[in-house]
Amino acid sequence: MPDGKAPHFPQQPVARQNDDGSLELECFLEANPVPEIKWFYDQTEIKPNQRFSSRLDNRGSDAYSAILQIKDLADSDAGAYRCAIVNPFGKGNANFNLKLTGFSSPTFVEKPQISSRDDGRVMIMEFKAKSILKPTFVWQKGDEIVAESDRYKIVLKETGNHEYYSALEIIEPKKEKDAGQFVCTAKNESGKLTATFSVKFEVPQGAPTFTRKPQILQKTSDSGDPAIVFDIGFQADMNPEVIWLNPKGKKMKESSRIKFGLTPDGGANTYTAQLELKNYKAKDSGTYTCNIKNDAGEANVELTLNIEGPLDDAADETSEA
């Protein structure tokens, strides 16, 4: 019989992850003649397919590397692998115990981005993710979960090859309601992926902006009656107009109970706007809106008034006749 060499393993096998996300199990061996290679997972022979492929690389002389490549790696691929080698002079086995965690977590296919359509009427926050395991997608703004409504539309499409398109569409976006950070969390049994969107609104030069937090104050009016004062600080160029809306959304006007105030604050184009409501009652409870407008733009702020007590049937003086 001619000279030969039975297969043996001069060093331990290794596992490594490639840049494309695939994993390779590599067995270093020596044998002569070239051995036959078979790979097994849990005693079952691995046949080549879209995810599994194997090769035998010659390292020079009688040295070889037997390599098993696994694509689209999932946590379920963890377990016992065996590389079985045989030639006319003998046989050998190299064993792997592959431990995987987080390999099936969702990953970005396309990074998060913000776009718009319909001349800015619709804002779109969108991204694409890949997830071998079935994922869930949850949108949040701050600590609040975003639910579909007349203004918010949530889009989720499975586009094939374990890829998903996720988007949040906002119809007629408004600074006072939609500015801030939105987060979409894509999650499966292996892990999660977080897509973060920071929504900012560019304010035109000279448009109204608020200079401090609005407040509701209690005071005694000039006539000695108890009064509630809504107090707003803002900055605006070009002769701003201030309009107050009652909880029913109707424009308010001055009366024996209602008085408006607009005074300069002393700074550059800064003002204090006030609404004084005398002899307030439980029926005055609700959310009031202060609308400030000039030629450069407009701004709105809401103040919610809660007054405890019996509702009365007095005439409603907080709306325009």
Answer whether 0.95 is exceeded by the pTM: no
In a domain, 204, yes or no: no
117 and 64 together in one domain: no
The CATH code of the domain that includes 114 is 2.60.40.10
Q: How many domains does the chain have?
A: 3
301 and 213 together in one domain: yes
Res 295: pLDDT: 86
Res 320: pLDDT: 45
215 and 194 together in one domain: no
13 and 94 together in one domain: yes
In a domain, 314, yes or no: no
87 and 155 together in one domain: no
In a domain, 318, yes or no: no
170 and 231 together in one domain: no
pLDDT, tens only, 15-74:
887 767 788 999 999 999 999 999 999 999 999 999 999 999 999 889 999 999 998 887
Cβ neighbours of 231 (radius 10 Å): 18
pLDDT, tens only, 273-319:
999 999 999 999 999 999 999 988 889 999 999 988 765 544 444 44
In a domain, 47, yes or no: yes
Average pLDDT of the residues in 122-139: 94
Res 310: pLDDT: 64
pLDDT, tens only, 61-113:
899 999 999 988 877 888 999 999 999 999 999 998 988 766 678 889 999 99
Domain that holds residue 89: 8-98
